[in-house]
Structure 1
Amino acid sequence: MLITLPSRYFVTRKASGHCQNINVLSGHKNAILDVKFTNDSERIITASADFNLGVYDAMTGARIKRFMGHKGIVNACDVCSEGSPSLAVSASDDRTARLWDARIRGEVGSFEDEYQITAVAYANDGQVVYTGGIDNCITAWDVRQMRRSMTMKGHSDTITCLSLNPKGTHLLSNSMDGTMRTWDIRPFVDDAAGGKKRHDKTFVGGTHNAEKGLLNCAWSADGMMVTGGSADCVVHIWDELSAEELYCLPGHSGCVNAVIFHPKENIIASASSDKSIYVGELS
Structure 2
Amino acid sequence: MVLGQRHARLTRTGGGATPVAPTTVIRNGAELHGHRLVTALPLVSRLASHDDIVNAVAFSPDGQTLATIDYVGTVRLWDPASGHIRTTLPERDGIVDAVAFSPDGRTLATVSAGEVELCDPASGRSRAALTGHNDIVNAVAFSPDGQTLVTGARSGRVRLWNPQTGRSRTTLTGHKDNVDALAINADGQSLATASRDGTVRTWPPAALTPSP
TM-score interval, smaller chain = 0.7 to 0.9
1:4-50 Cα shifts (integer Å, max 9, x gaps) = 9xxxxxx99599x7132111012111111111110001111112112
Q: How does 1:106-121 map to 2 (within 5 A)?
A: 106-112=125-131, 113-121=133-141
Q: Which residue of 1 aligns with 2:50?
A: 28
Q: Determine whether 1:54 maps to 2:76.
A: yes
Partners of 1:80 and 1:151 lie apart in 2 by: 21
Shift of 1:105: 3.8
| 8 Å Cα contact 2:191/2:208 also seen in 1 | no
Q: Which residue of 1 aligns with 2:22?
A: none
Q: Which residue of 1 aligns with 2:176?
A: 156
Q: Which amino acid aligns with 1:20?
A: P
Q: How does 1:241-260 map to 2 (within 5 A)?
A: none
Shift of 1:188: 8.0
RMSD: 2.7
2:89 to 60, 67, 72: 67
Shift of 1:182: 2.1
Partners of 1:29 and 1:120 lie apart in 2 by: 24
Looking at CA atoms only, which structure, 1 or 2, has the larger radius of gyration? 2
How much identity, in percent, do the aligned residues show? 23
Q: Which residue of 2 aligns with 1:145?
A: 165
Tell me how many residue pairs correspond in the alignment: 180
> With structure 1 as the length reference, what TM-score do the two structures score?
0.58
Q: How does 1:241-280 map to 2 (within 5 A)?
A: none
Q: Which amino acid aligns with 1:167?
A: D
Q: How does 1:1-283 map to 2 (within 5 A)?
A: 18-81=40-103, 83=104, 85-93=105-113, 95-112=114-131, 113-186=133-206
1:157-207 Cα shifts (integer Å, max 9, x gaps) = 101111222222222222111122222344687x9xxxxxxxxxxxxxxxx
SS at match of 1:24: coil
Partners of 2:55 and 2:87 lie apart in 1 by: 18
Q: Which residue of 1 aligns with 2:10?
A: none
Partners of 1:22 and 1:185 lie apart in 2 by: 40
Moved more, 173-182 or 129-138: 173-182
| 8 Å Cα contact 2:160/2:208 also seen in 1 | no
Distance 1:33 1:52, change over 3 A: same
Distance 1:139 1:12, change over 3 A: farther
| 8 Å Cα contact 1:75/1:119 also seen in 2 | yes
Distance 1:13 1:102, change over 3 A: farther
Partners of 2:45 and 2:154 lie apart in 1 by: 35
Partners of 1:89 and 1:12 lie apart in 2 by: 29
Unaligned runs of 5+ residues in structure 1 are: 5-10, 192-283
Unaligned runs of 5+ residues in structure 2 are: 5-26, 32-38
| 8 Å Cα contact 1:12/1:24 also seen in 2 | no
| 8 Å Cα contact 1:12/1:22 also seen in 2 | no
Q: Which amino acid aligns with 1:147?
A: R
